[in-house]
Amino acid sequence: MNKISIGQSELMASQISLGIMRMNALSVEEAKMVIETAISEGIDHFDHADIYGKGASETIFGQAFKKLGISRDSVILQTKTGIVPGIMYDFSKEHIIQSVEESLTRLQTDYVDTLLLHRPDALVEPEEVAEAFDELEKSGKVRTFGVSNHNPLQIELLKKFVNQPLIINQLQLSLTHTPMIDAGLNVNRMEAGSVLHEGQLIDYSRINDMTIQPWSPFQSGNGKKGLFFDHPDYLELNKVVNEMAKEKGVAREAIAIAWLLRHPAKMQPIVGTMNPDRIKAITKATEVSLSREEWYKLYLSGGKMLP
């Protein structure tokens, strides 16, 4: 698998990241198999968060990774902080630093390669965030920083105070959840797709050299639950995806990921499966070449229209 540059950093990572949210449901032995499979398929980037499995996902990953005896420097570990589930968001200096310390203990490592602020905090005091980032960088506990689900002005506010480049924005994007793309195509129109929900994030990210990490790449959009695969509301999309998968000799999941990889923004999709066979199938996306016409055909089959 080819590697991509992550934002304005020296980090080079696999085109696909493995999200560890569901690892808390696995035994350590099962987790070892998942990690081993991912690495053998070329994935060296692992996405965590302090809240995944109430911390258990990081704990199991840390135990499994240690048992595998893999060099820490051969992988990139990313975690997120800022959500206090069901209660509040917390970007205070105290919470950020304490969260990182706890993540490092669970992951059994001295540092994480990247720390993301996990969804915006309405009460953010960017001066505190800056102090936390400086302390974590100086101590060597965090090497690079970014955000998740932030819009351009929220990022600009942080950048006014934070000394480190913000190299990543983790955002929901899939064949059926495309507001970032819809708005860019429907400029100066009155249709629903013209509504600018997030401040033209794709263009902002490209201008500012921020890597977009699409999350939930197989989830249904527009508030619908479950995967879009075999979903009754997406019959045409499934027909096109299945036909293209058959033609190219890959799984349908690989087509959905290849659609994201085809975008010139050089995104790094995060996939959350804990099934080794599915990991193998998904990584074939990096070998799939989609033409411009095929990319738009997939986009339109999800129920979109061109102006």
Report pLDDT digits (tens) over 63-76. 999 999 999 999 99
Q: Which residues contact 159 (CB under 8 A, 6 or more apart)?
A: 166
Catalytic residues: 52
Q: How far apart are CA 205 and CA 208, in angstroms?
A: 5
- pLDDT of residue 172 exceeding 80: yes
Please, how many CA atoms are within 13 Å of residue 177, restricted to the half-sphere of its CB? 20
Closest by CA position to 65, among listed 100, 106, 101:
106
- pLDDT of residue 223 exceeding 80: no
Tens of pLDDT, residue by residue over 239-293, are: 999 999 999 999 999 999 999 999 999 999 999 999 999 999 999 999 999 999 9
Tens of pLDDT, residue by residue over 70-97, are: 999 999 999 999 999 999 999 999 999 9
- pLDDT of residue 193 exceeding 90: no
Backbone phi and psi for residue 215, each to the nearest 5 degrees, phi listed first: -110, 160
- Predicted structure pTM score: 0.96
